[in-house]
A = this chain, B = another copy of it.
Amino acid sequence: MTVASPAAVPALDYVFHPRSIAIAGISSKENRRGGSFASALQDIGFRGPIFLVHPTATAIRGLKCYPSLLDVPDDVDYVISSVPARAVPGLLEDCIKKNVKVLHMYTAGFTETGDAARAKMEQTIVARAREAGIRLIGPNCMGLYVPSSRLAMMGDQLPEPGPVAMISQSGVNAGEFVRNALPRGIRCSKVISFGNGSDLKAADFFDYAADDSETEVICSYLEGIQEGPRLAQAIRKAAAVKPVAILKAGRTEAGSRAANSHTASLAGSLAIFDGLCKQAGALRVESMDELVDMAVTFRFVTRLAGPNIVVVGGGGGASVLAADDLAAAGLKLPPLLPETQEALARVTHEAGTSVRNPIDTTSLWQEGGFESTLTPCATATNVDAVLYHTSFGGNWPGSNDMHARMINETNILKRLRDETGKPIVVAIRQAMNASGLAQSQEFIDLCSKNEIATYPTIARAGRALARLLAWQRMHD
Protein backbone atom coordinates (compact mmCIF):
# COMPACT_ATOMS: atom_id res chain seq x y z
CA MET A 1 0.00 0.00 0.00
CA THR A 2 1.37 3.38 -0.98
CA VAL A 3 0.81 6.40 1.20
CA ALA A 4 -0.01 9.55 -0.76
CA SER A 5 2.46 12.26 0.09
CA PRO A 6 0.64 15.13 1.78
CA ALA A 7 0.33 18.34 -0.24
CA ALA A 8 2.95 20.85 0.78
CA VAL A 9 1.49 23.43 3.14
CA PRO A 10 2.32 26.99 2.06
CA ALA A 11 4.48 28.84 4.56
CA LEU A 12 1.82 31.47 5.33
CA ASP A 13 -0.94 28.92 5.90
CA TYR A 14 -1.04 29.48 9.68
CA VAL A 15 -2.08 33.11 9.06
CA PHE A 16 -5.40 31.80 7.70
CA HIS A 17 -6.00 29.21 10.42
CA PRO A 18 -5.90 30.86 13.84
CA ARG A 19 -7.09 28.70 16.75
CA SER A 20 -7.98 31.66 18.97
CA ILE A 21 -8.64 35.35 18.45
CA ALA A 22 -8.53 38.43 20.64
CA ILE A 23 -10.12 41.75 19.70
CA ALA A 24 -8.53 44.81 21.29
CA GLY A 25 -10.23 48.18 21.36
CA ILE A 26 -13.76 46.87 21.23
CA SER A 27 -16.46 49.32 22.21
CA SER A 28 -19.25 48.36 24.54
CA LYS A 29 -21.62 50.18 22.17
CA GLU A 30 -23.36 48.26 19.43
CA ASN A 31 -21.21 47.79 16.31
CA ARG A 32 -18.71 50.45 17.14
CA ARG A 33 -14.96 49.99 17.11
CA GLY A 34 -14.21 46.27 16.83
CA GLY A 35 -17.74 45.19 17.70
CA SER A 36 -18.59 44.31 14.12
CA PHE A 37 -15.63 41.88 14.04
CA ALA A 38 -16.89 40.14 17.17
CA SER A 39 -20.38 39.76 15.74
CA ALA A 40 -19.06 38.70 12.32
CA LEU A 41 -16.97 35.95 13.96
CA GLN A 42 -19.92 34.87 16.11
CA ASP A 43 -22.23 34.85 13.06
CA ILE A 44 -19.96 32.66 10.96
CA GLY A 45 -19.33 30.37 13.93
CA PHE A 46 -15.63 30.76 14.65
CA ARG A 47 -14.71 27.51 16.38
CA GLY A 48 -12.06 28.74 18.80
CA PRO A 49 -12.32 31.17 21.69
CA ILE A 50 -12.87 34.90 21.05
CA PHE A 51 -11.36 37.06 23.77
CA LEU A 52 -12.29 40.71 24.09
CA VAL A 53 -9.96 43.32 25.52
CA HIS A 54 -11.76 46.18 27.24
CA PRO A 55 -10.54 48.33 30.16
CA THR A 56 -13.70 48.12 32.26
CA ALA A 57 -16.44 45.91 30.77
CA THR A 58 -16.79 42.35 32.04
CA ALA A 59 -18.62 40.98 28.99
CA ILE A 60 -19.77 42.28 25.60
CA ARG A 61 -22.07 40.28 23.29
CA GLY A 62 -21.80 37.39 25.74
CA LEU A 63 -18.01 37.25 25.35
CA LYS A 64 -15.80 37.70 28.38
CA CYS A 65 -13.65 40.86 28.48
CA TYR A 66 -10.15 41.21 29.86
CA PRO A 67 -8.55 44.51 30.91
CA SER A 68 -5.50 43.77 28.78
CA LEU A 69 -4.29 41.16 26.32
CA LEU A 70 -1.89 39.91 28.98
CA ASP A 71 -4.83 39.05 31.22
CA VAL A 72 -6.20 36.53 28.69
CA PRO A 73 -5.64 33.14 30.36
CA ASP A 74 -5.15 31.12 27.12
CA ASP A 75 -2.95 31.23 24.05
CA VAL A 76 -3.91 33.82 21.42
CA ASP A 77 -2.93 33.18 17.79
CA TYR A 78 -4.50 36.21 16.15
CA VAL A 79 -5.24 39.71 17.44
CA ILE A 80 -7.54 42.23 15.79
CA SER A 81 -6.50 45.77 16.66
CA SER A 82 -9.28 48.31 16.83
CA VAL A 83 -7.45 50.60 19.24
CA PRO A 84 -6.48 54.13 18.20
CA ALA A 85 -3.23 54.40 16.21
CA ARG A 86 -1.28 55.81 19.15
CA ALA A 87 -2.14 52.73 21.26
CA VAL A 88 -0.90 50.20 18.69
CA PRO A 89 2.76 50.15 19.81
CA GLY A 90 1.68 49.18 23.34
CA LEU A 91 -0.67 46.52 22.00
CA LEU A 92 2.15 45.15 19.86
CA GLU A 93 4.37 44.79 22.92
CA ASP A 94 1.59 42.81 24.62
CA CYS A 95 1.28 40.64 21.48
CA ILE A 96 4.99 39.90 21.64
CA LYS A 97 4.80 38.94 25.31
CA LYS A 98 1.75 36.81 24.60
CA ASN A 99 3.46 35.01 21.68
CA VAL A 100 0.76 36.12 19.23
CA LYS A 101 1.40 35.04 15.62
CA VAL A 102 -0.67 37.52 13.59
CA LEU A 103 -1.80 41.07 14.28
CA HIS A 104 -4.60 42.34 12.04
CA MET A 105 -4.59 46.11 12.25
CA TYR A 106 -8.05 47.42 11.49
CA THR A 107 -6.65 50.59 13.06
CA ALA A 108 -6.06 53.34 10.51
CA GLY A 109 -4.38 56.74 10.71
CA PHE A 110 -0.87 55.92 9.59
CA THR A 111 0.98 56.57 6.31
CA GLU A 112 -2.27 57.12 4.41
CA THR A 113 -2.87 60.39 6.31
CA GLY A 114 0.08 61.96 4.52
CA ASP A 115 1.52 62.91 7.93
CA ALA A 116 5.26 62.14 8.23
CA ALA A 117 5.16 61.35 11.96
CA ARG A 118 2.34 58.85 11.45
CA ALA A 119 4.17 57.24 8.51
CA LYS A 120 7.21 56.90 10.75
CA MET A 121 5.08 55.27 13.46
CA GLU A 122 3.85 52.67 10.94
CA GLN A 123 7.42 51.85 9.92
CA THR A 124 8.47 51.48 13.56
CA ILE A 125 5.59 49.08 14.23
CA VAL A 126 6.50 46.94 11.22
CA ALA A 127 10.14 46.79 12.22
CA ARG A 128 9.30 45.80 15.78
CA ALA A 129 6.80 43.13 14.64
CA ARG A 130 9.29 41.62 12.20
CA GLU A 131 11.97 41.54 14.81
CA ALA A 132 9.57 39.60 17.05
CA GLY A 133 8.33 37.28 14.30
CA ILE A 134 4.76 38.62 14.25
CA ARG A 135 3.10 39.05 10.86
CA LEU A 136 0.92 42.11 10.32
CA ILE A 137 -2.18 42.40 8.16
CA GLY A 138 -2.87 46.07 7.39
CA PRO A 139 -2.99 48.60 8.89
CA ASN A 140 -6.19 50.25 7.70
CA CYS A 141 -8.00 47.11 6.53
CA MET A 142 -10.76 44.58 7.21
CA GLY A 143 -8.52 41.51 7.41
CA LEU A 144 -9.65 38.01 6.50
CA TYR A 145 -12.73 36.09 5.41
CA VAL A 146 -11.84 32.39 5.37
CA PRO A 147 -14.96 30.19 5.33
CA SER A 148 -13.10 26.93 6.04
CA SER A 149 -11.60 28.54 9.18
CA ARG A 150 -14.88 30.24 10.05
CA LEU A 151 -13.19 33.64 9.92
CA ALA A 152 -15.30 36.58 8.72
CA MET A 153 -14.55 40.26 8.23
CA MET A 154 -18.19 41.39 7.96
CA GLY A 155 -21.65 40.20 8.94
CA ASP A 156 -23.69 37.90 6.72
CA GLN A 157 -20.62 36.07 5.33
CA LEU A 158 -21.32 32.42 4.54
CA PRO A 159 -19.40 29.53 6.15
CA GLU A 160 -19.61 27.60 2.86
CA PRO A 161 -16.17 27.53 1.20
CA GLY A 162 -15.34 27.55 -2.50
CA PRO A 163 -12.34 27.82 -4.81
CA VAL A 164 -12.12 31.58 -5.49
CA ALA A 165 -9.57 33.75 -3.68
CA MET A 166 -9.87 37.53 -3.52
CA ILE A 167 -6.81 39.62 -2.67
CA SER A 168 -8.01 43.16 -2.03
CA GLN A 169 -6.45 46.33 -0.79
CA SER A 170 -9.92 47.65 0.11
CA GLY A 171 -12.28 46.06 2.62
CA VAL A 172 -15.36 47.64 1.05
CA ASN A 173 -14.39 46.27 -2.36
CA ALA A 174 -13.61 42.84 -0.88
CA GLY A 175 -17.07 42.81 0.70
CA GLU A 176 -18.69 44.00 -2.52
CA PHE A 177 -16.94 41.26 -4.50
CA VAL A 178 -18.16 38.57 -2.12
CA ARG A 179 -21.72 39.91 -2.03
CA ASN A 180 -21.98 40.28 -5.81
CA ALA A 181 -20.36 36.94 -6.58
CA LEU A 182 -22.30 34.95 -3.99
CA PRO A 183 -25.74 34.99 -5.69
CA ARG A 184 -24.02 33.88 -8.92
CA GLY A 185 -22.69 30.70 -7.37
CA ILE A 186 -19.22 31.85 -6.36
CA ARG A 187 -17.86 30.66 -3.01
CA CYS A 188 -14.51 31.76 -1.68
CA SER A 189 -11.38 30.10 -0.30
CA LYS A 190 -9.60 33.15 1.13
CA VAL A 191 -10.69 36.77 0.97
CA ILE A 192 -8.04 39.21 2.11
CA SER A 193 -8.31 42.95 2.77
CA PHE A 194 -4.77 44.16 3.43
CA GLY A 195 -5.00 47.99 3.34
CA ASN A 196 -1.61 49.69 3.51
CA GLY A 197 0.18 46.32 3.26
CA SER A 198 2.97 47.46 5.50
CA ASP A 199 4.17 43.93 6.30
CA LEU A 200 2.22 41.30 4.39
CA LYS A 201 1.76 42.64 0.87
CA ALA A 202 -0.04 41.70 -2.34
CA ALA A 203 3.04 39.72 -3.39
CA ASP A 204 2.83 37.55 -0.26
CA PHE A 205 -0.83 36.82 -0.84
CA PHE A 206 -0.44 36.01 -4.56
CA ASP A 207 2.42 33.72 -3.65
CA TYR A 208 0.26 32.04 -1.04
CA ALA A 209 -2.80 31.74 -3.30
CA ALA A 210 -0.67 30.13 -6.01
CA ASP A 211 0.26 27.34 -3.58
CA ASP A 212 -3.06 27.15 -1.70
CA SER A 213 -4.78 23.86 -2.51
CA GLU A 214 -8.20 25.36 -1.71
CA THR A 215 -7.82 28.08 -4.38
CA GLU A 216 -8.49 27.51 -8.09
CA VAL A 217 -9.21 31.05 -9.30
CA ILE A 218 -7.55 34.26 -8.06
CA CYS A 219 -9.21 37.68 -8.18
CA SER A 220 -7.65 40.85 -6.92
CA TYR A 221 -8.23 44.56 -6.33
CA LEU A 222 -5.01 46.53 -6.11
CA GLU A 223 -4.42 50.22 -5.53
CA GLY A 224 -0.67 50.39 -5.49
CA ILE A 225 2.38 48.49 -6.64
CA GLN A 226 4.59 47.66 -3.68
CA GLU A 227 7.99 46.09 -4.32
CA GLY A 228 7.28 45.85 -8.06
CA PRO A 229 9.69 43.06 -9.03
CA ARG A 230 8.53 40.82 -6.18
CA LEU A 231 4.86 41.52 -7.01
CA ALA A 232 5.50 40.76 -10.69
CA GLN A 233 7.17 37.49 -9.76
CA ALA A 234 4.31 36.46 -7.45
CA ILE A 235 1.63 37.28 -10.06
CA ARG A 236 3.63 35.37 -12.69
CA LYS A 237 3.89 32.35 -10.38
CA ALA A 238 0.15 32.44 -9.63
CA ALA A 239 -0.97 33.06 -13.21
CA ALA A 240 1.13 30.15 -14.43
CA VAL A 241 -0.98 27.70 -12.43
CA LYS A 242 -4.38 29.37 -11.95
CA PRO A 243 -6.52 31.99 -13.72
CA VAL A 244 -5.80 35.44 -12.30
CA ALA A 245 -7.97 38.56 -12.81
CA ILE A 246 -6.90 41.91 -11.37
CA LEU A 247 -8.81 45.17 -11.01
CA LYS A 248 -6.15 47.87 -10.75
CA ALA A 249 -7.23 51.22 -9.33
CA GLY A 250 -5.39 54.40 -10.13
CA ARG A 251 -6.10 54.12 -13.85
CA THR A 252 -6.35 57.91 -14.00
CA GLU A 253 -4.48 60.75 -12.31
CA ALA A 254 -7.52 61.42 -10.07
CA GLY A 255 -7.68 57.72 -9.18
CA SER A 256 -3.96 57.62 -8.37
CA ARG A 257 -4.34 60.56 -6.03
CA ALA A 258 -7.30 58.89 -4.33
CA ALA A 259 -5.38 55.60 -3.98
CA ASN A 260 -2.58 57.47 -2.29
CA SER A 261 -4.99 59.06 0.19
CA HIS A 262 -6.70 55.74 0.84
CA THR A 263 -3.92 53.21 1.38
CA ALA A 264 -0.80 55.35 0.90
CA SER A 265 -0.45 53.54 -2.42
CA LEU A 266 1.77 54.62 -5.25
CA ALA A 267 -0.41 53.56 -8.14
CA GLY A 268 2.36 53.61 -10.71
CA SER A 269 1.82 53.72 -14.43
CA LEU A 270 -1.11 51.76 -15.77
CA ALA A 271 0.89 50.96 -18.90
CA ILE A 272 3.61 49.35 -16.77
CA PHE A 273 1.06 47.35 -14.79
CA ASP A 274 -0.62 46.30 -18.04
CA GLY A 275 2.71 45.05 -19.33
CA LEU A 276 3.30 43.18 -16.07
CA CYS A 277 -0.08 41.44 -16.41
CA LYS A 278 0.47 40.52 -20.04
CA GLN A 279 3.90 39.08 -19.32
CA ALA A 280 2.53 37.16 -16.35
CA GLY A 281 -0.58 35.93 -18.18
CA ALA A 282 -2.96 37.67 -15.76
CA LEU A 283 -6.10 39.43 -16.97
CA ARG A 284 -6.51 43.10 -16.06
CA VAL A 285 -10.18 44.09 -15.78
CA GLU A 286 -11.79 47.53 -15.73
CA SER A 287 -14.47 47.35 -13.04
CA MET A 288 -15.75 45.43 -10.04
CA ASP A 289 -18.59 44.06 -12.21
CA GLU A 290 -16.06 42.67 -14.65
CA LEU A 291 -13.99 41.16 -11.84
CA VAL A 292 -17.06 39.27 -10.62
CA ASP A 293 -17.96 38.26 -14.19
CA MET A 294 -14.49 36.81 -14.68
CA ALA A 295 -14.69 34.87 -11.41
CA VAL A 296 -17.91 33.32 -12.76
CA THR A 297 -16.37 32.73 -16.19
CA PHE A 298 -13.12 31.16 -14.98
CA ARG A 299 -15.09 29.04 -12.54
CA PHE A 300 -17.89 27.76 -14.78
CA VAL A 301 -16.93 28.34 -18.43
CA THR A 302 -13.23 27.50 -18.08
CA ARG A 303 -12.56 27.17 -21.84
CA LEU A 304 -13.93 28.44 -25.16
CA ALA A 305 -12.79 26.92 -28.45
CA GLY A 306 -13.41 30.04 -30.53
CA PRO A 307 -15.40 33.25 -30.95
CA ASN A 308 -18.51 31.84 -32.69
CA ILE A 309 -21.57 32.29 -30.52
CA VAL A 310 -25.18 31.46 -31.23
CA VAL A 311 -27.61 33.64 -29.28
CA VAL A 312 -31.03 32.20 -28.39
CA GLY A 313 -33.88 33.89 -26.56
CA GLY A 314 -37.20 35.65 -26.87
CA GLY A 315 -37.44 39.33 -27.71
CA GLY A 316 -36.58 40.95 -31.00
CA GLY A 317 -35.08 44.17 -29.71
CA ALA A 318 -33.04 42.34 -27.08
CA SER A 319 -31.68 40.05 -29.80
CA VAL A 320 -30.66 42.96 -32.01
CA LEU A 321 -28.83 44.67 -29.15
CA ALA A 322 -27.26 41.30 -28.27
CA ALA A 323 -25.82 41.04 -31.77
CA ASP A 324 -24.37 44.55 -31.46
CA ASP A 325 -22.98 43.97 -27.98
CA LEU A 326 -21.34 40.64 -28.83
CA ALA A 327 -19.87 41.91 -32.07
CA ALA A 328 -18.58 45.02 -30.29
CA ALA A 329 -16.89 42.75 -27.71
CA GLY A 330 -15.08 40.96 -30.54
CA LEU A 331 -17.20 37.81 -30.79
CA LYS A 332 -18.84 36.48 -33.92
CA LEU A 333 -22.45 35.48 -34.61
CA PRO A 334 -22.03 33.06 -37.51
CA PRO A 335 -24.99 32.56 -39.88
CA LEU A 336 -26.64 29.24 -39.07
CA LEU A 337 -25.83 26.29 -41.33
CA PRO A 338 -28.61 24.99 -43.62
CA GLU A 339 -29.02 21.84 -41.48
CA THR A 340 -29.34 23.93 -38.31
CA GLN A 341 -31.94 26.15 -39.96
CA GLU A 342 -33.85 23.08 -41.15
CA ALA A 343 -33.85 21.59 -37.68
CA LEU A 344 -35.12 24.86 -36.22
CA ALA A 345 -37.76 25.21 -38.93
CA ARG A 346 -39.22 21.88 -37.82
CA VAL A 347 -39.77 23.36 -34.33
CA THR A 348 -41.14 26.78 -35.13
CA HIS A 349 -44.17 27.94 -37.05
CA GLU A 350 -42.58 31.36 -37.32
CA ALA A 351 -40.05 32.28 -39.95
CA GLY A 352 -37.43 35.02 -40.08
CA THR A 353 -35.68 35.58 -36.78
CA SER A 354 -36.62 32.11 -35.52
CA VAL A 355 -34.09 30.41 -37.78
CA ARG A 356 -31.40 33.09 -37.87
CA ASN A 357 -28.62 33.98 -35.43
CA PRO A 358 -29.53 35.67 -33.03
CA ILE A 359 -32.51 33.34 -32.73
CA ASP A 360 -35.60 35.17 -31.47
CA THR A 361 -38.36 32.62 -31.07
CA THR A 362 -41.40 31.98 -28.94
CA SER A 363 -41.09 28.26 -29.74
CA LEU A 364 -38.83 28.00 -26.69
CA TRP A 365 -41.94 28.13 -24.52
CA GLN A 366 -43.84 25.39 -26.37
CA GLU A 367 -43.96 21.82 -25.09
CA GLY A 368 -40.57 20.32 -25.96
CA GLY A 369 -39.59 23.53 -27.75
CA PHE A 370 -36.67 24.41 -25.49
CA GLU A 371 -34.82 21.16 -26.12
CA SER A 372 -35.52 21.02 -29.85
CA THR A 373 -34.39 24.63 -30.27
CA LEU A 374 -31.24 24.43 -28.15
CA THR A 375 -30.04 21.05 -29.41
CA PRO A 376 -29.34 21.99 -33.05
CA CYS A 377 -27.64 25.18 -31.84
CA ALA A 378 -25.28 23.43 -29.44
CA THR A 379 -24.44 20.62 -31.84
CA ALA A 380 -23.81 22.84 -34.89
CA THR A 381 -20.28 22.41 -36.15
CA ASN A 382 -19.75 26.16 -36.71
CA VAL A 383 -20.70 27.14 -33.14
CA ASP A 384 -18.28 27.39 -30.20
CA ALA A 385 -20.75 28.38 -27.49
CA VAL A 386 -24.42 29.04 -26.89
CA LEU A 387 -25.71 32.15 -25.12
CA TYR A 388 -29.28 31.68 -23.91
CA HIS A 389 -31.01 34.83 -22.65
CA THR A 390 -34.26 35.05 -20.77
CA SER A 391 -36.15 37.17 -18.26
CA PHE A 392 -38.78 36.54 -15.63
CA GLY A 393 -41.99 38.17 -14.47
CA GLY A 394 -43.81 38.35 -17.79
CA ASN A 395 -47.23 36.88 -18.08
CA TRP A 396 -46.41 34.24 -20.68
CA PRO A 397 -48.20 31.06 -21.56
CA GLY A 398 -47.08 28.36 -19.18
CA SER A 399 -45.62 30.83 -16.69
CA ASN A 400 -47.78 29.30 -14.00
CA ASP A 401 -45.40 26.39 -13.55
CA MET A 402 -42.20 28.34 -13.82
CA HIS A 403 -40.38 26.16 -11.31
CA ALA A 404 -40.78 23.00 -13.43
CA ARG A 405 -39.80 24.93 -16.53
CA MET A 406 -36.62 26.16 -14.88
CA ILE A 407 -35.61 22.67 -13.81
CA ASN A 408 -36.30 21.34 -17.29
CA GLU A 409 -34.24 24.13 -18.87
CA THR A 410 -31.23 23.73 -16.59
CA ASN A 411 -31.27 19.94 -17.10
CA ILE A 412 -31.21 20.42 -20.86
CA LEU A 413 -28.52 23.12 -20.74
CA LYS A 414 -26.35 20.92 -18.49
CA ARG A 415 -26.81 17.83 -20.67
CA LEU A 416 -26.00 19.71 -23.88
CA ARG A 417 -22.96 21.29 -22.24
CA ASP A 418 -21.72 17.89 -21.05
CA GLU A 419 -22.45 16.12 -24.36
CA THR A 420 -20.98 18.75 -26.66
CA GLY A 421 -18.19 20.01 -24.39
CA LYS A 422 -19.18 23.52 -25.44
CA PRO A 423 -19.86 26.31 -22.95
CA ILE A 424 -23.52 27.19 -22.59
CA VAL A 425 -23.96 30.47 -20.73
CA VAL A 426 -27.11 32.23 -19.59
CA ALA A 427 -27.94 35.94 -19.48
CA ILE A 428 -30.86 36.69 -17.19
CA ARG A 429 -32.15 40.08 -18.21
CA GLN A 430 -33.83 42.58 -15.86
CA ALA A 431 -36.87 41.03 -14.19
CA MET A 432 -40.26 42.45 -15.11
CA ASN A 433 -41.64 42.68 -11.55
CA ALA A 434 -40.99 41.60 -7.97
CA SER A 435 -42.01 37.96 -8.50
CA GLY A 436 -39.81 37.93 -11.61
CA LEU A 437 -36.90 39.08 -9.44
CA ALA A 438 -37.37 36.09 -7.13
CA GLN A 439 -37.69 33.75 -10.13
CA SER A 440 -34.51 35.23 -11.63
CA GLN A 441 -32.59 34.40 -8.47
CA GLU A 442 -34.08 30.89 -8.40
CA PHE A 443 -32.93 30.29 -11.98
CA ILE A 444 -29.47 31.72 -11.26
CA ASP A 445 -29.20 29.36 -8.29
CA LEU A 446 -30.24 26.37 -10.40
CA CYS A 447 -27.73 27.28 -13.10
CA SER A 448 -24.95 27.86 -10.57
CA LYS A 449 -25.59 24.50 -8.91
CA ASN A 450 -25.10 22.94 -12.33
CA GLU A 451 -21.96 25.02 -12.89
CA ILE A 452 -23.59 27.02 -15.68
CA ALA A 453 -22.34 30.62 -15.82
CA THR A 454 -24.96 33.36 -15.51
CA TYR A 455 -24.68 37.07 -16.26
CA PRO A 456 -27.06 39.97 -15.54
CA THR A 457 -26.95 41.30 -19.10
CA ILE A 458 -26.15 39.95 -22.56
CA ALA A 459 -23.48 42.60 -22.97
CA ARG A 460 -21.65 41.46 -19.84
CA ALA A 461 -21.86 37.82 -20.92
CA GLY A 462 -20.37 38.72 -24.28
CA ARG A 463 -17.60 40.79 -22.79
CA ALA A 464 -16.69 38.03 -20.31
CA LEU A 465 -16.48 35.40 -23.07
CA ALA A 466 -14.33 37.74 -25.14
CA ARG A 467 -12.03 38.33 -22.18
CA LEU A 468 -11.79 34.56 -21.63
CA LEU A 469 -10.61 34.19 -25.24
CA ALA A 470 -8.06 36.96 -24.71
CA TRP A 471 -6.82 35.23 -21.54
CA GLN A 472 -6.56 31.90 -23.38
CA ARG A 473 -4.49 33.53 -26.13
CA MET A 474 -1.97 34.66 -23.48
CA HIS A 475 -1.61 31.06 -22.33
CA ASP A 476 -1.66 29.18 -25.65
Answer whether residue A170 sits at the interface, using C-beta atoms and an 8 A cutoff.
yes
Is A324 within 8 A of B31, CB to CB? Answer: no
Task: Write out, one digit per residue, whether chain A residues 159-183 have a CB within 8 A of any chain B CB (1) or not (0).
Answer: 0000000001111111110011000
Minimum CB–CB distance for A41 against chain B, Å: 13
Contact present for B112 and A353 (CB under 8 Å)? yes
Q: How far is the CA of A261 from the CA of B315 in the complex (A)?
A: 12
Say whether, besides A352-B261, A395-B155, A249 and B324 are in contact (CB < 8 Å).
yes
A323 close to B (CB within 8 Å)? yes
Interface-lining segment among A88-96, A205-213, A425-433: A425-433
A39 with B172: CB separation less than 8 A: no
In the complex, per-residue mask of A304-326: 1 if CB is within 8 Å of any chain B CB, else 0 = 00000000001111111111111
Using Cβ atoms and an 8 Å threshold, which residues of chain B touch A109?
350-352
A115 CB–B CB distance under 8 Å: yes
What residues of chain B lie closer than 8 Å to A345, measured between beta carbons? none
Q: Mark A421-444, 1 if CB is under 8 A from B, else 0.
A: 000000001101100000000000
Q: Which residues of B contact A396 (CB under 8 A)?
A: 31
Beta-carbon contacts under 8 Å, A181-196 to B: none
Q: How far apart are the CA atoms of A332 and B155 in the complex, in Å?
A: 35
A147 touches B (CB below 8 Å)? no
Cβ of A357 to closest chain B Cβ, rounded Å: 8
Chain B residues closer than 8 Å to A323, beta-carbon distance: 252, 254-255, 257-258
Residue A231 at the chain B interface, CB threshold 8 Å:
no
B114 A352 Cβ-Cβ under 8 A: yes
Contact B353 A261 (CB under 8 A): yes
Residues of B within 8 A of A397 (CB): 29-32
Residues 373 to 421 of chain A near chain B (Cβ within 8 Å): 394-397
Q: Is A340 an interface residue (CB 8 A)?
A: no
User: 1/0 per residue A250-272: CB within 8 Å of B?
Assistant: 11111101110111000000000
Report which residue of A323, A333, A433 has the largest number of chain B beta carbons within 10 angstroms of its beta carbon.
A323
B324 touches A156 (CB 8 A): no
Contacts of A320 in B (CB 8 A): 170, 223, 249-250, 255, 258-259, 262
Q: Is A328 an interface residue (CB 8 A)?
A: yes
For residue A408, give the distance in angstroms from its CB to the closest CB of chain B: 20
Q: A179 is contacted by which of B175, B249, B252, B432 (Cβ under 8 Å)?
A: B432
Which residues of chain B come closer than 8 Å to A114, judged between CB atoms? 351-352
Shortest Cβ gap from A70 to chain B (Å): 29
- Chain B residues with Cβ below 8 Å from A32 are 397
What B residues does A259 contact at CB under 8 A?
A: 320
A250 contacts B352, C-beta separation under 8 Å = no
B327 x A432 contact (CB < 8 A): no
Contact across chains for A317 and B156 when beta carbons are under 8 A apart: no
A255 to B50, CA, bound (A): 59
Shortest CB distance A195–B (Å): 8
Most chain-B CB neighbours within 10 Å: which of A112, A251, A252, A324?
A324
Please tell me if the beta carbons of B254 and A173 are within 8 angstroms of each other in the complex. Answer: no
- Judging by beta carbons under 8 Å apart, are B36 and A172 in contact? no
- Is A15 interfacial (CB 8 A cutoff)? no
Taking CB atoms, residues of chain B closer than 8 Å to A258 are: 319-320, 322-324, 333, 353, 356, 358
Given contacts A252-B324, A323-B254, A324-B250, contact A172 B317 (CB under 8 A): yes
Residue A121 lies at the interface, judged by CB distance under 8 Å to chain B: no
Q: Mark A326-363, 1 if CB is under 8 A from B, else 0.
A: 11100011000000000000000011110010101000
List the B side residues contacting A29 at CB < 8 Å.
Answer: 397
In the assembled complex, the CB of A361 is this many whole angstroms from the nearest CB of chain B, namely 11
Q: When the two chains form their complex, are residues B318 and A172 in contact, meaning their CB atoms are under 8 A apart? A: yes
| Cross-chain contact of A351 among B115, B252, B429 (Cβ < 8 A) | B115
Shortest CB-to-CB span from A214 to chain B, Å, is 24
Specify the chain B residue showing the minimal Cβ separation from A429: B176
Query: How far apart sit A350 and B118, CA to CA, in the bound complex (Å)?
Result: 13
* Contact partners of A317 in chain B: CB under 8 A: 168-174, 176, 221, 223, 249, 262
A-B pairs, top 6 by smallest CB distance, nearest first, are A170-B317, A255-B324, A252-B327, A173-B317, A172-B315, A258-B323
Q: A31-B397, A247-B321 are in contact. List 13 more A-B contacts (CB 8 A).
A: A31-B396, A109-B351, A109-B352, A154-B394, A172-B316, A173-B317, A223-B317, A249-B324, A251-B328, A252-B327, A255-B320, A257-B323, A258-B323
Cβ contacts A to B, 16 pairs, < 8 Å: A31-B397, A109-B350, A112-B352, A140-B316, A154-B394, A155-B395, A170-B318, A173-B318, A176-B430, A179-B433, A249-B324, A251-B328, A258-B353, A262-B317, A287-B325, A288-B321
